[in-house]
Chain A
Amino acid sequence: MAQVTLRKVEKKYEETPAVCGIDLDIPDKEFVVLVGPSGCGKTTTLRMIAGLEEITAGEIAIGGEVVNDIPPKDRDIAMVFQNYALYPHMTVYENMSFGLRLKKTPKAEIDRRVQRAAGILNISPLLDRKPKQLSGGQRQRVAMGRAIVRDPKVFLFDEPLSNLDAKLRVHMRTEIKKVHQQVRTTTVYVTHDQVEAMTLADRIVVMNAGHIEQVGTPHELYHRPATRFVAAFIGSPAMNMVPCGVEEAAGSLRFRLSEDLSFPVPQERAERYRPHVGKQKLLFGLRPEHMIEQRPHVEPGQQPFEAKPVVVEPMGSESLVFFVMNGVEACARVNPDCGARVGEPLKLVADLRHVHLIDDETGRVL
């Protein structure tokens, strides 16, 4: 087990940059998820840690040892691939023990480790089968088993759940988390699914266009996003971002969303936002779950406003109401029994304790 360190790591394909000098420290036993849209460099980063891609510049260290020039086989890592990459001509047992057999581990030890991993993953009855006789979920378990038996310093997961159907994905997500809680190996996990990232990670690394946008716990990223990109990427449906201005009247600040709609800036944010009074190109950011139907008791920080729904999507436990706010589409998450109907005015409240003010030019959350 070991920590993983990336220092100014760069990757260029010919002249096209894929990863642009990233720094990252992953402590021992941590579960880190690299998340971002397609082409953001997350898989390339993972493959560089694995040694499957050469590094253009920078330094990668595993357990304090710089591994830039060390081939994958000597890095003591294990990787789970999106398409499982099980050896089709070998049984499950042979697949799992392949790495150990190459290392000439004694047979008894191999058997002990394979049986232990199979026990953890509930695949003991499948050990004699070939991969083609297994379902997608079972193959995924075998791929994880192959990683566990090696007892490596670091686990690397490359979008391991993307090939599974939605239900199995949720199930395997829990399984992966359980396995990590049992074996506590440092884990780097790549996904484009922010829900997977939020549920699995000790810390999330949000990447965009080869850069790291923000590193933090799921709670931090959700409540204190550093950039517009992170604010929009984390959370589903995405955060509402409505063009606004900040104005000062009679000593107090207000968010001005349109001529007839404005909200008071919460007291504790007044000093932070004062320098931005009168600035153009600001965004008022508030998540759908912080725009709800008006209830008899208005909580402190909640400001009522009226909206005219253009679409109502019932989800069962809640309904998503879409409406237009200062020219852009916004979404509110309301109680399904609140009587939201398309075209009929609906009384909503905005919970301003969770508001974010975003500079649209720099993309920074202020």
Chain B
Amino acid sequence: MSAVAMEARPAKRGSISKDRKKAMYWSYFFLMLFVLFFLTPPLYMLIMSLKTSGEIAEARFPWWVFHPTLDNYWSLLGSENFQNFFINSALVSLSTVVVTMLISIPAAFSLSRMKFWGSSTLAAGVFLTYLIPETLLFIPLFKIFSWVTEFTGIELVNHWWVLIFIYPTLTVPFCTWIMIGYFASIPKELDEAALIDGAGWLQVLTRIFIPVALPGIIAATIFAFTVSWADFLYPLVFTTSADQLVLPAGIVTTLIKGDVFEWGRIMTAALLGAMPPLLIYAFLMDYYIAGLTAGATKG
């Protein structure tokens, strides 16, 4: 039907009004400005990563590579430490995503669908916890860890896996919050139909809600992954020995020695570290946008 309507409409090519054209020019101008602004640092990183330490120290012309080399890449990819950081980061991030989803999906589902006493207050509370910055949380967390060690004898500090328990404090509130928004855009009749068809709440969640809300869930997953992949403060505070470090803290602690900065390798490591989130965004961008804007566009 829409195809018929489209054909019937006269072709509008070349009929954009002057105002609209002007608005388009300005939009492009500002968009280009933002693109430049945001892409300059990664470009600079790329340029630096291709230089030798000598060329960097020379500081002749920072925006050009006179003697390009992949030495920084080979040395990092061959370094056992860097491989370790990468594996630790991957394990921590993937585990955090799993833990976050295991908590956030049921939490968002129950808060958005199963009306119970205090559910709306709880939903607001979930969001409020997200507003507390991690810089305020790490000292109390340190205190809690020392109590745990005191009472159970389990040493929590300086283990990469402890981050799997800490990161959800950052990811669960936000993921729950965006999923509450997404779930709210799914018609209530859908779960009612499933309830009448004989499904229990858990089946409504697994057989109906999760497949239907997949864009929202993927958006939350990407967020959780990015946060846990890129977080710097917690790993810096809670892990110290080289075999326990994750990428962001590892790069800084091993490639900056006193006042010696290995700029070429730092930039290379940062670029390589940015690859996994970049690839994920590249493939799942559409889902991410759909997930974040769903609440705004659907009734």
A residues near B, CB below 8 A? Answer: 50-52, 71-73, 75, 77-79, 81-83, 85-89, 98-99, 102-103, 146, 150
Question: Could you list 21 A-B pairs, sorted by A, with CB under 8 Å?
Answer: A51-B196, A52-B192, A52-B195, A52-B196, A71-B195, A72-B195, A72-B196, A73-B198, A73-B200, A78-B196, A81-B189, A81-B192, A82-B189, A85-B189, A85-B192, A86-B193, A87-B193, A87-B194, A88-B212, A102-B197, A146-B193
Asked if B198 and A79 sit within 8 Å, CB to CB, the answer is: no
* Complex Cα spacing A251 to B195, Å: 66
CA distance A205 to B263 in the complex (A): 81
Among B177-203, those with CB < 8 Å from A are 187, 189-190, 192-200, 203
> Is B211 part of the contact surface with A, judged by Cβ < 8 Å?
yes
A102 CA to B195 CA, complexed, in Å = 11
Contact in complex: B199, A79 (CB < 8 Å)? no
Closest A-B pairs by Cβ, 6 of them? A99-B197, A85-B189, A85-B193, A89-B211, A81-B189, A73-B198
Residue of B187, B196, B211, B212 with most chain A CB atoms under a 10 A cut-off:
B196
Partner of A98, one of B187, B189, B197, B211: B197
CB-nearest residue of chain B to A52: B192
Residue of A nearest to B197 (CB): A99
Task: Give min CB distance, B187 to chain A, whole Å.
Answer: 6
Chain B residues with a Cβ closer than 8 Å to the other chain, count: 17
CB of A102 within 8 A of CB of B199, answer: yes
Q: Closest Cβ of chain B: how far from A193's Cβ, in Å? A: 20
B189–A150 CB distance below 8 A: no
Q: Which of A78, A83, A150 contacts B187 (CB 8 A)?
A: A83
Inside 8 A of A71's CB, which chain B residues have their CB?
195
CA distance A71 to B199 in the complex (A): 10
Interface residue? B208 (CB, 8 A): yes
B196 A73 Cβ-Cβ under 8 A: yes
Shortest beta-carbon distance from B63 to chain A in Å? 50
Q: Hey, which chain B residues are within 8 Å of A98, CB to CB? A: 194, 197, 199, 207
- Give complex CA distance A75, B197 in Å: 10
- Known contacts being A52-B192, A81-B193, A102-B203, is A87 close to B198, with CB within 8 Å? no
Chain B nearest Cβ from A166, distance in angstroms = 16
Task: Give chain A residues whose Cβ lies under 8 Å from the Cβ of B203.
Answer: 102
Q: CB-nearest residue of chain A relative to B200?
A: A73
CA–CA, A77 to B198, complex, Å? Answer: 9
Query: In the assembled complex, which residues on chain B have CB atoms less than 8 Å from the CB atom of A72?
Result: 192, 195-196
Cα–Cα, bound, A52→B207 (Å): 19
| Interface membership of chain B positions 206-232, coded 1 if the CB is closer than 8 angstroms to chain A and 0 otherwise | 011001100000000000000000000
> Which residue of A82, A83, A86, A103 contacts B198 across the interface (Cβ within 8 Å)?
A103
**Nearest chain B CB to A92 CB, angstrom units:** 14
Instruction: Say yes or no: A146-B212 contact (C-beta < 8 A), given A81-B192, A85-B190, A87-B190.
Output: no
Residues of A near B208 (CB, < 8 A) are: 87
Residues of A near B192 (CB, < 8 A) are 50, 52, 72, 79, 81, 85
Residues in A with CB closer than 8 Å to B195 are 51-52, 71-73
B198: chain A residues at CB < 8 Å are 73, 99, 102-103
Distance from A99 Cβ to chain B, minimum over Cβ atoms (Å): 4
CA distance A146 to B197 in the complex (A): 9
Bound: A89/B212 CA distance, A: 7
CA distance A93 to B28 in the complex (A): 48
CA of A86 to CA of B208, assembled, Å: 10
